[in-house]
Structures are given as structure tokens and as C-alpha cells.
């Protein structure tokens, strides 16, 4: 259960959501029949080693609710209070999402990243408000709202979840503690609006590293996540600390140093039609020591041309990717 009450949730967020949070993707056993718990524990240890303050328990893969529940339990057990675990609320219906969130809450997750199902097709922003408030009312965990074009709300607003909608949710839901500001991507106006309107009340996350590093040198951005930052190994948490310490020249130099890896990341197909290629993300993390290994079908794929580009980008950026052959990614570092 959460370590705070609803009335304390925003105080908890101010204290804990200070840093960078990555994404941990579950690994299945070699026969694809169950969860590889050793792999999950490995990835939590690597997350802590790299300096992250939290990790999303990715649910956007082919696994059962019972398997996901156990995945969150394992992550929380292994973290042992050293980082917080974020529940990924992207199940099929509002009812499914509430059920999954209550299981994650019981398992020890303390923050929710709230998404919306592919077959949730609201007729108005009022429907979005009603869904979101019903979810927030049903759980005790802190909730991070997530404006992004993925949900299809752009037909209502160019920044997907406009400020007046977010205003109602922040006012009406005391466990809304954060906004992951990606509304209106690829443009930056939405995140700037959100920051200007709400940064004194809730934690604003700029999760895109290429936006976070420059903007955090101009405005207060206490949190960067959840995101693909495992691709850069320990670098983004280090840059975060440089910025908080006012060492802007060093942070800027690091921004430029990792640019070949950033360009390699942008050159391969990370997502399509609202679904992230989690197998690609696993490979990107595997290059930096994370477990890699099997995901159940259906899943997007990763091809040799993409692996070559990603590895070479890390090499040029001085990120020292693993020397292990790519064939070992498909087995994983802790096969079971």
C-alpha cells in the first residue's frame, strides 16, 4: 500500500519525484509460458546502479493480469525502497484499469502513469474528465496524468488535454500529483503551457531528454520520466544532477556528446500507430547491460539493420555498449 494518504500524495511526489525514471519491460521464460523473475530483478538492480529514482513496470506487452501483478511484486521486492515503482495503467477498459491498479497498489507501487485504452473513444473532453476522475477516485496511489497524441484526443485540442481540463482534474483529484507533459508533440507549446499553469502545484515531467536537458537549464523541471533513458545507461541521471547543481556547461557538453546515440535512436522505428516497439526498447537497454530476452508474440520486431545503427550510435557517443553478440539479446542475460 502507499506510504502516504491522499492528502499527503503531493508532498510525497515533491520529495520522491526528483530525478529520472526509466522503464522496465518484463521478460518471459524461454518457453514463453511464464514471467522470468530473475530477469526483472536484474533490471531493477541495473536501474539502481545507473542512478534512476523510479521505474515504470511496463504493462504494454503480451502478459496476463496475474503475471503483471507478480511482475510489480518482484520489482517492488527487489527495489526494497531504493527506488519507487510506477504502475502502467493501459489495460482494456476503465474497470480493467481499476482492477490492475488496485493489484499494483497492493503489491507496493506508489505512482500510476495513467493512459487510455485503444477502444476508449470519447465524444468530448467531458468524457475524458469522467474516465480520469473515476479512475483517480478508485485508487489511493498518486497519479501522473499523461497528455500525449497517442490517445487520439487531438481532435478536441491541439495539446490533447487542454489546460482547462487539467485544471479541473488537479482541483478535483487530490491524488493527481504530476503531469507527464507530452501534449501536442512534436511541438513544445503544450508542455510549456502545462508547466506555466501547474508547476507550483504538481510535479511537471518533461520526459523527452532532448527537451529536458535544455529546458531544465531555464525553468525548474524536477522530473524526467518515465522514458527510454535506459538507452543512454547512467548518463541522463548524471546530467540531471549537473543541472540541479547549476553545472550547465557540463550538462550541455554531455548533451552534445551523446548526440550520435540520440540520432541513432531517432533513425529506427520506435513506434507506430500509437504502440511503442517494446522489443526495440529492450534491445536498447540490453546494449547498456539490462537483461534483454524474450517477449511473447504478438510483438513488434527488431532487425539487424536497426541493431547495427543503435550499437554504432552508442559507440560513437562513448556509451560503451556491450561487446556481446546480438544473438545473445534474444536469449537474455538471465535465461530461465
Instruction: Indicate whether 1 pLDDT > 90.
Output: no
CA-closest candidate to residue 46, choices 207, 213, 206, 231 = 231
| Cell (9 digits) for 305 | 539493420
Domains and CATH numbers, the chain: 6-268 (3.20.20.70)
Distance of CA 178 to the CA centre of its chain: 13
pLDDT in tens, 173-196: 999 999 999 999 999 999 999 999
Cα separation of 83 and 85, whole Å? 7
Query: Could you report the per-residue pLDDT of 89-129, keeping only the tens digit for each?
Result: 999 999 999 999 999 999 999 999 999 999 999 999 999 99
pLDDT at residue 61 greater than cutoff 90: yes
Residues with Cβ within 8 Å of residue 165, at least 6 apart in sequence:
125, 128, 129, 157
Query: Alpha helix locations (H) across 80-203?
Result: 94-107, 125-138, 163-172, 189-198
Residue range 33-59, pLDDT digits in tens? 999 999 999 999 999 999 999 999 999
Rounded to the nearest integer, the mean pLDDT of the chain is: 98
pTM above 0.95, yes or no: yes
Radius of gyration of the chain (CA): 19
Amino acid at each position: 500500500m502507499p506510504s502516504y494518504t491522499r492528502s499527503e500524495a503531493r508532498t510525497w511526489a515533491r520529495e520522491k519525484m526528483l530525478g529520472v525514471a526509466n522503464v522496465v519491460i518484463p521478460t518471459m521464460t524461454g518457453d514463453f509460458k511464464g514471467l522470468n523473475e530473475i530477469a526483472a530483478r536484474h533490471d531493477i538492480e541495473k536501474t539502481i546502479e545507473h542512478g534512476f529514482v523510479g521505474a515504470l513496470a511496463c504493462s504494454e506487452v503480451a502478459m496476463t493480469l496475474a503475471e503483471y501483478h507478480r511482475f510489480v511484486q518482484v520489482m517492488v521486492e527487489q527495489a526494497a525502497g531504493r527506488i519507487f515503482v510506477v504502475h502502467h495503467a493501459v489495460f482494456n477498459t476503465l474497470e480493467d484499469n481499476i482492477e490492475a491498479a488496485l493489484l499494483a497498489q497492493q503489491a507496493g507501487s506508489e505512482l500510476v502513469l495513467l493512459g487510455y485504452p485503444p477502444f476508449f473513444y470519447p465524444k468530448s473532453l467531458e468524457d475524458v474528465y469522467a474516465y480520469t476522475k473515476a479512475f483517480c477516485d478508485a485508487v489511493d496511489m498518486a497519479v501522473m496524468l499523461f497528455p500525449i497524441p497517442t490517445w487520439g484526443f487531438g481532435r478536441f485540442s491541439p495539446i490533447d488535454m487542454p489546460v482547462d481540463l487539467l485544471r479541473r482534474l488537479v482541483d478535483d483529484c487530490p491524488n493527481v500529483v504530476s503531469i507527464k507533459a507530452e501534449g501536442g508533440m512534436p511541438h513544445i507549446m503544450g508542455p510549456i503551457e502545462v508547466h506555466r499553469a501547474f508547476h507550483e502545484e504538481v510535479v511537471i515531467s518533461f520526459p523527452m531528454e532532448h527537451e529536458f536537458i535544455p529546458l531544465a537549464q531555464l525553468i525548474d523541471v524536477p522530473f524526467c520520466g518515465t522514458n527510454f533513458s535506459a538507452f543512454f545507461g547512467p548518463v541522463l541521471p548524471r546530467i540531471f544532477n549537473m543541472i540541479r547543481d547549476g553545472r550547465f556547461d557540463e550538462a550541455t557538453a554531455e548533451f552534445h556528446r551523446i548526440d550520435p546515440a540520440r540520432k541513432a535512436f531517432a533513425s529506427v522505428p520506435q513506434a507506430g500507430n500509437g504502440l511503442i516497439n517494446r522489443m526495440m526498447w529492450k534491445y536498447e537497454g540490453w546494449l547498456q547491460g539490462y537483461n534483454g530476452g524474450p517477449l511473447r508474440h504478438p510483438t513488434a520486431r527488431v532487425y539487424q539493420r536497426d541493431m547495427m545503427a543503435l550499437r554504432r550510435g552508442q559507440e560513437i557517443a562513448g556509451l560503451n555498449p556491450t561487446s556481446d553478440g546480438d544473438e545473445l539479446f534474444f536469449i537474455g542475460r538471465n535465461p530461465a
